[in-house]
Structure 1
Amino acid sequence: MPGDTPYSGNRRLADRRPETDWRNVLPTGAPGASQGTPYSFWVREGDATKLAVILAGGGACWTGENCALHGRPFYRPFAGLGDGPSDFGGIFDSENPENPLADYTLVYLPTANGDVFLGDSITTYDVPESDDRPPGKIDILHKGYDNAVCALDWMFSAYPDPKTVAVIGWSAGAIASPVYTHIVAENYPAALIRHFADGGGAYRAGEKLVPLFASWGTANVLRRISGFQDIEIEALSLEDLYVRAAELHPEITFHQYNERHDAIQGLFLHLMGVASPDVGANMDEAHAYIRERVPNFRTYTSWGHDEGIIGGYYDAVPALNALDNRGRPHVLDRFYTRQVNGVRFLDWFAAALGGDSVENVACIDSEKQEHHWVRPGFPR
């Protein structure tokens, strides 16, 4: 049975697959990362009929202060040889027998333009004076859409006939994942398409999103995507991207995971100008908005204050007694051990990936930890 293995999602870094299992690809025509440096993505070969395209997290920027590297940046500005996922756990851990993506071909797209893959602009920002620098200007390549499309074009050519394709995004990559699910579905009409977003469900921020879309050139992106051209950018919410994609593809169920008190989403809401962000309330409102409009949307809302479950993020579980694990906390890969109301996330994710219908899951006590974990050598 899943979960009865003593493996429990734990493995030493030294035991992980070597870097050579991942191939770095520099796509032809990609405009480059935020500062004009080359953009590249990563591929790990598996079954060519089963693909997972993964839109990575990495923050965002939309002002001179949070785009300039000497300011207060909250985003990843580069994507190169040092930005591969070889040391990640979660869905990247191909040695874990419970990983439902272990035999998939993985195509990993780093975020590197500060625009959550929704950018098509070169924007000049005013950079305020800092302690050791006068005020100035900076040009940012918000070209996340073009970089991603170049990577996807490579994938469409290299793997022309997959049977199953999972489109997965986390954090920044989760936000645009419904749009890219649509793009992938249009290019693989014969394949079974799955969607999963890890985070990004609480940005129900109304007009505070407008300056971000303007800085990124998101209107330019939507005008280039069949089925999205008529969306008005001034009234656009991120939930509208889910609604439109779900309307265009009623055969696809769109899935989203969040932690109820996600501090990263709270931080970015604050940076956007929300004085006292209520992540949980925003999430409830956003989910209700989507559910009122489309039936093919499911959510798993966990206890916790962190962000990210698919990439090998870890939970520290207090020891049961002073001699257990030498008194230190146990560190667990939450992709394999997180549980809410008795529903193990891994089982929910694997069912969704397999095309089974899953129910919405939401924590009752958002502070109480719940783990599905068998300690090696101990009875259940």
Structure 2
Amino acid sequence: MLACGFATLLLGCSSDDPVAEEKPFGLDPGWNKLAGGGDSICSRGDAFSFFVQPGTVNRVVIEFEGGGACWDASTCAVGSDSFDDIVDADTLTGTLDGIHDHENADNPFKDWTHIFIPYCTGDLHLGNKATDHGDVTIEHRGAVNGGVAMDWVYENIPDPERVVVTGCSAGGYGAIGWAPYIMQHYDGVPVVQIADCANGVAVAGFIAIIDFVWDA
């Protein structure tokens, strides 16, 4: 082990000294919550964070969380159930089955590194604007938050064998929007995009929301 070799040379450690098991990315097994930092932010000013489950193979699944949207005073109001406005201890609650269950032998991503990007901006992970909705101003910064998470992925997984970009509902639109950029970054790497409950078709009014409310 390289680290042990340096320790032996510099500190004179013996081969009998216990060596800590190497942790992928320096993270613990299971889900790790990482602070977003930088310019990342949730809709009402709370801190953004994302989750990483280290894998044992050089493959990565990048998942965008789903959950509604907000575009006006009613849907963006405090207490609105149109979207989730924070990342908290309950963000992963109820999502630990299916592809999130990395102990399940039937999970095709069981051994993959899993990136879970929470959704707290009401803009399908695509916005970059603080918008005044009358009684409330919302930080529609989904693109910023996604960028912070993807910067971590690019730095720590520079040359994966395969990538899957996925999401459900609002997360599906996030996957659709982000996949071309991820494909461009990982040029030559097989990248597959899977969007559930997000058909990628939008009416003119929706396009106006994307352009003028979220600046996506």
Is this a same-fold pair by TM over 0.5?
A: yes
Q: Whole-Å Cα distance in 2 between the matches of residues 208 and 81 of structure 1?
A: 32
Assess if the C-alpha contact under 8 Å between 1:33 and 1:143 holds in 2: yes
1:108 shift after superposition: 0.3
Assess if the C-alpha contact under 8 Å between 2:163 and 2:191 holds in 1: yes
Change (3 A) 1:87 1:193: closer
1:169 shift after superposition: 1.4
Partner of 1:356: none
Provide the TM-score with structure 2 as the length reference.
0.81
Q: Whole-Å Cα distance in 2 between the matches of residues 48 and 29 of structure 1?
A: 29
Q: Which runs of 5+ in 2 are unaligned?
A: 1-27
| Higher normalized contact order (CA 8 Å, seq sep 6+, divided by chain length) | 2
Q: Whole-Å Cα distance in 2 between the matches of residues 150 and 202 of structure 1?
A: 24
CA RMSD of aligned residues (A): 2.0
Partner of 1:100: 108
Q: Deviations over 1:125-181 (max 9, x none)?
A: 11xxxxxxxxxx211000000000010001110111111010011110111322311
Q: How many residues align?
A: 189
Assess if the C-alpha contact under 8 Å between 2:40 and 2:148 holds in 1: no
1:100-249 equivalence runs, <5 A: 100-126=108-134, 137-201=135-199, 203-218=201-216
Partner of 2:76: 67
Residue 49 (str. 1) matches residue 47 (str. 2): no
Q: Deviations over 1:207-236 (max 9, x none)?
A: 344135311112xxxxxxxxxxxxxxxxxx
Assess if the C-alpha contact under 8 Å between 1:39 and 1:80 holds in 2: no
Q: Whole-Å Cα distance in 1 between the matches of residues 200 and 206 of structure 2?
A: 13
Q: Deviations over 1:291-347 (max 9, x none)?
A: xxxxxxxxxxxxxxxxxxxxxxxxxxxxxxxxxxxxxxxxxxxxxxxxxxxxxxxxx
Largest Rg, 1 or 2 = 1
Assess if the C-alpha contact under 8 Å between 2:36 and 2:47 holds in 1: no
Q: Whole-Å Cα distance in 2 between the matches of residues 148 and 191 of structure 1?
A: 20
Assess if the C-alpha contact under 8 Å between 2:127 and 2:210 holds in 1: no
Q: Whole-Å Cα distance in 2 between the matches of residues 117 and 56 of structure 1?
A: 9
Partner of 2:46: 37
1:257-272 equivalence runs, <5 A: none
Q: Whole-Å Cα distance in 2 between the matches of residues 119 and 125 of structure 1?
A: 15
Change (3 A) 1:85 1:108: farther
User: Please, which moves more after superposition, 84-93 or 162-171?
Assistant: 84-93
Q: Read off the aligned partner of 2:159 and give its amino acid letter.
A: D
Q: Whole-Å Cα distance in 2 between the matches of residues 146 and 185 of structure 1?
A: 18
Provide the TM-score with structure 1 as the length reference.
0.47
Runs (4+) of structure 1 moved beyond 4 Å? Answer: none
Residue 79 (str. 1) matches residue 77 (str. 2): no
Q: Whole-Å Cα distance in 2 between the matches of residues 102 and 85 of structure 1?
A: 19
Change (3 A) 1:175 1:101: same
Q: Whole-Å Cα distance in 1 between the matches of residues 145 and 206 of structure 2?
A: 26
Q: Whole-Å Cα distance in 2 between the matches of residues 27 and 169 of structure 1?
A: 19
Q: Read off the aligned partner of 2:44 and give its amino acid letter.
A: Q
Q: Whole-Å Cα distance in 1 between the matches of residues 39 and 29 of structure 2?
A: 23
